[in-house]
């Protein structure tokens, strides 16, 4: 067993070096399969017995008490209808307010805001400030107070789920009150400065007004970045500033955007989008292109240069180049982040860490079983390839093979695009951009050819980003859910957990891999992600130094290269909870699936389990778990 474990850990060490850094998935009807609570089932039974008052009831054998009960039920039903109508109005109003709060959010949410009653909205990028964060807390308190005033027992089942999700989210959010200056708007790969240009480059033009809004947004980037620098200065004054190393990594990402309009992908993508907009004359197109070039040269590039200059001036103010726990309230902030961004059903960070360790051990044991039976699998794992290497063909193949385990979504379109070459070094291997809810055909998946191996990574990457991953899950939920507010709310641990779950599922499809090798690769991928998630806790909660992480990697995997250790360490330092969002979501889903498989035995259906998760949709796992338990009881009936 010791020899076999050593061989497996060497395999992990080899694949760890080429791990896809999980930093790039951009984005966000009553579900028929959602379970009823016992109370609701009883209410439904009461409703079927309730009839009109009068002689007919006496003839049917109802007592006076039964009549009064029936009349009371009818009165309650009218009250319930009023509560339900008010709740629908509340969620509709919230949807419009939240969507219109940011022009960028609005455009990625709705292609035609006017059709949803949204005509007045801020067309700038807004600001980032302590006051903004504090205002968010105040608004959250006010909304939670409104929810507390609603009799949730009167709501429909789908409304009650929305109510519970919203209440849970607001309580998570309020747990961060007083910790607002711990927020990090900038980081090397996940920060605003790295993500914003891609969002602008994918800003679709449906009408000439969209072009005008885009140019206004682009022109407002200077004041927006100035507000971020002011916030960073305030963080530094509070002793929470970025270390010099973190500043250098952000500056490196900013340098990629210091390109004038003649060399910028921002100009190239603008021209392409403009050509796709019907109804413009050549003169109008030329005028728009000139305005865009001017905005790039006079607003966009100077904003990035100002960001670099401002951050350079902040050097020396940040002393902590380690995890969050080395700040005075860092552990409390980390607990807040874990709850807010994973929505885990585990009670605390310690129990979560133990669960991660347990699944790591299980993955190691399962992979070991295959390697023990066939030791040559270790060598095969470093030299394999999938049968399909073109993204369009892979997507088509995945859709065909997933039919037996996933409910259909109907026709869809997906545009495969390459990450601009200038950005390959700073962006993730692939990402899916969420479609507007009123234009489900506008799906885009970006492939980073600089870091995605078409032979060994692209197949599972397309499962993660496309089908049955992010694109599929988004299209399914948007077509089955009738509450627009839920389509706007983001629970990344659910969405990334789902995408990771189906990514690992794709190893087992007919994809050209040997069946046993596919299982070894699947368990290796799960173990490697768990390793990163565990190190996230070690660094940010337990306070591990880079030396401790180096010792850990050498002990567990035999990795002693200081450059690898440094890269791993600072990737986690710069992006707390990022790996946990992926792994905890995956682990929660696997916990439920394994419980369902054990409980239902031969009656377990992967299709119905997946349908349950898809129908309930993005939500904290603390909310999902009770619904899952009820679903499991129903499956046994």
Q: Tell me the DSSP string of 396-410.
A: HHHHHHTTTTS----
Residue 202 lies in a domain: yes
C-beta of residue 280 within 8 angstroms of C-beta of residue 199: no
**Closest CA relative to residue 507, chosen from 366, 358, 354:** 366
- State which residues of the chain have pLDDT below 70: 1-76, 426
Residue 560 lies in a domain: no
Instruction: Give the pLDDT of residue 28.
Output: 38
Instruction: Give the pLDDT of residue 528.
Output: 96
| Distance between CA atoms of residues 445 and 465, nearest Å | 7
Residue 207 lies in a domain: yes
Cβ-based neighbour number of residue 473 at 10 Å: 24
Residue 637 lies in a domain: no
C-beta of residue 541 within 8 angstroms of C-beta of residue 334: yes
Instruction: Give the pLDDT of residue 97.
Output: 95
Measured torsion, CA atoms of residues 520, 526, 531, 534, in degrees rounded to the nearest 10: -150
Residue 308 lies in a domain: yes
Q: How many domains does the chain have?
A: 1
| Distance between CA atoms of residues 595 and 588, nearest Å | 11
> What pairing do the DSSP bridges indicate for beta strands 414-418 and 430-433?
unpaired
The residue behind tokens 């579900």 is: 31
Helices 546-557, 515-540: axis angle to 10 degrees equals 160
Name every residue whose Cβ is closer than 8 Å to that of residue 209 and which is 6 or more positions away in sequence.
Answer: none
Residue 561 lies in a domain: no
| Distance between CA atoms of residues 467 and 412, nearest Å | 11
Instruction: Give the pLDDT of residue 421.
Output: 79
pTM for the model stands at: 0.88
C-beta of residue 256 within 8 angstroms of C-beta of residue 422: yes
Question: Hey, what are 603's tokens?
Answer: 């009656």
| Distance between CA atoms of residues 174 and 330, nearest Å | 16
Instruction: Give the pLDDT of residue 452.
Output: 84
C-beta of residue 628 within 8 angstroms of C-beta of residue 500: no
Which structural domain range is residue 207 located in? 182-328
Residue 390 lies in a domain: no
Residue 236 lies in a domain: yes
> 431: alpha, beta or left, given left = phi > 0 and alpha = psi -120 to 50?
beta
């Amino acid at each position: 067993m010791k020899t076999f474990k050593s061989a497996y850990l060497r395999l992990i060490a080899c694949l760890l070096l080429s791990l896809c850094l999980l930093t790039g998935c951009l984005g966000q009807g009553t579900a028929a399969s959602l379970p009823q609570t016992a109370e609701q089932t009883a209410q439904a039974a009461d409703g079927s017995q309730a009839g009109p008052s009068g002689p007919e009831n006496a003839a049917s054998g109802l007592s006076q008490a039964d009549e009064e009960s029936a009349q009371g039920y009818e009165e309650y039903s009218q009250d319930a209808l009023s509560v339900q109508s008010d709740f629908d109005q509340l969620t509709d109003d919230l949807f419009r307010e939240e969507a219109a709060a940011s022009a960028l959010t609005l455009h990625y949410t709705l292609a035609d805001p006017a059709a949803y009653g949204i005509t007045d909205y801020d067309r700038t990028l807004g600001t980032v400030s302590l006051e903004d964060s504090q205002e968010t807390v105040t608004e959250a308190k006010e909304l939670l107070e409104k929810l507390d005033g609603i009799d949730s027992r009167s709501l429909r089942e789908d409304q009650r789920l929305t109510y519970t999700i919203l209440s849970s989210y607001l309580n998570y959010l309020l747990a961060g009150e007083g910790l607002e200056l711990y927020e990090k708007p900038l980081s090397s790969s996940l920060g605003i400065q790295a993500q914003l240009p891609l969002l602008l480059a994918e800003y679709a033009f449906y009408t000439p007004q969209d072009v005008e809004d885009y140019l206004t947004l682009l022109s407002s980037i200077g004041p927006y970045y100035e507000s971020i620098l002011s916030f960073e200065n305030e963080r530094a004054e509070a002793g929470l500033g970025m270390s010099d190393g973190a500043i250098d990594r952000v500056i490196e990402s900013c340098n990629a955007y210091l390109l004038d309009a003649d060399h910028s992908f921002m100009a190239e993508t603008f021209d392409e989008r403009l050509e796709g907009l019907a109804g413009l004359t050549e003169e109008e197109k030329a005028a728009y292109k000139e305005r865009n070039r001017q905005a790039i040269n006079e607003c966009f590039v100077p904003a990035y240069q100002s960001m670099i200059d401002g951050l350079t001036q902040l050097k020396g103010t940040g002393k902590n180049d380690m995890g969050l726990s080395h700040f005075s309230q860092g552990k409390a902030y980390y607990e807040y982040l874990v709850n807010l961004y994973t929505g885990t059903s585990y009670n605390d960070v310690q129990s979560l860490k133990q669960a991660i360790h347990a699944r790591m051990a299980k993955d190691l044991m399962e992979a070991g079983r295959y390697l023990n039976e066939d030791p040559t699998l270790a060598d095969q794992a470093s030299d394999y390839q999938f049968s399909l290497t073109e993204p369009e063909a892979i997507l088509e193949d995945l859709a065909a093979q997933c039919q037996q385990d996933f409910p259909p979504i109907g026709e869809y379109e997906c545009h495969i695009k390459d990450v601009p070459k200038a950005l390959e070094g700073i962006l993730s291997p692939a990402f899916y951009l969420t479609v507007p809810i009123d234009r489900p055909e506008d799906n885009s998946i970006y492939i980073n050819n600089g870091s995605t191996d078409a032979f060994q990574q692209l197949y599972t990457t397309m499962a993660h980003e496309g089908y049955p991953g992010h694109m599929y899950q988004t299209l399914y939920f948007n077509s089955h859910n009738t509450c627009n507010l839920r389509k706007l709310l983001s629970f990344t641990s659910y969405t990334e957990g789902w995408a990771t779950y189906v990514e690992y599922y794709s190893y087992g499809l007919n994809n050209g891999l040997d069946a046993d090798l596919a299982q070894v690769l699947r368990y290796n991928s799960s173990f490697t992600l768990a390793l990163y998630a565990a190190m996230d806790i070690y660094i940010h909660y337990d306070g591990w130094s880079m030396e401790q992480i180096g010792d850990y990697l050498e002990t567990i995997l035999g990795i002693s290269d200081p450059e690898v250790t440094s890269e791993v360490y600072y990737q986690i330092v710069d992006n707390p909870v990022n790996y946990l969002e992926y792994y905890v979501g995956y682990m929660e889903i696997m916990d439920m699936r394994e419980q369902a498989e054990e409980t239902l035995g031969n009656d377990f259906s992967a299709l119905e389990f997946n349908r349950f998760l898809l129908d309930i949709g993005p939500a904290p796992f603390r909310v999902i778990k009770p619904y899952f338990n009820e679903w499991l009881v129903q499956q046994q009936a």
